[in-house]
Amino acid sequence: MKEIYRSFEGKLDADNQEGYIVYEGNGFFEVRNISVWADKTNGSFRVNKPLNWENVEEIAEACFRVENGTLDGQAFYKGKWYKTETINKIQKKYEDGEWRRHIK
């Protein structure tokens, strides 16, 4: 995978506490959200089409939609990638939009 965009310069530190890195490869774009805070969830997701990588709101919206099964892609949770189809199946099976609570 090749890094194609970084929302920050250098490394994260006291002045740069959160950001994301975008990678391209294997037919998708992977966005890795990172933070210096240990208690902050560092979510990652994949989409099949490019986004405006400089637009934080667009990235956040895509992350939200992938993680909620409304945008085709993959969400990373507990060390595993979950495709939109799998997320939708879990949501339907448990009649619950919060699919993560049903992952052991």
pLDDT in tens, 25-34: 999 999 998 8
Tens-digit pLDDT profile for residues 54-78: 999 999 999 999 999 999 999 999 9
Determine the pLDDT at residue 13: 81
Give the pLDDT score at 41: 60
Which strands make up the sheet holding 18-25, listed edge to edge? 2-6, 18-25, 28-35, 44-47, 73-77, 80-83
Indicate whether 93 pLDDT > 70. yes
Is the pTM higher than 0.75? The answer reads yes
4-42 tens-digit pLDDT: 999 988 888 888 888 899 999 999 999 998 888 866 666
26 phi, psi to nearest 5 deg: 55, 30
DSSP string computed for 19-50: EEEEEEETTEEEEEEEES-TTS---EEEESS-
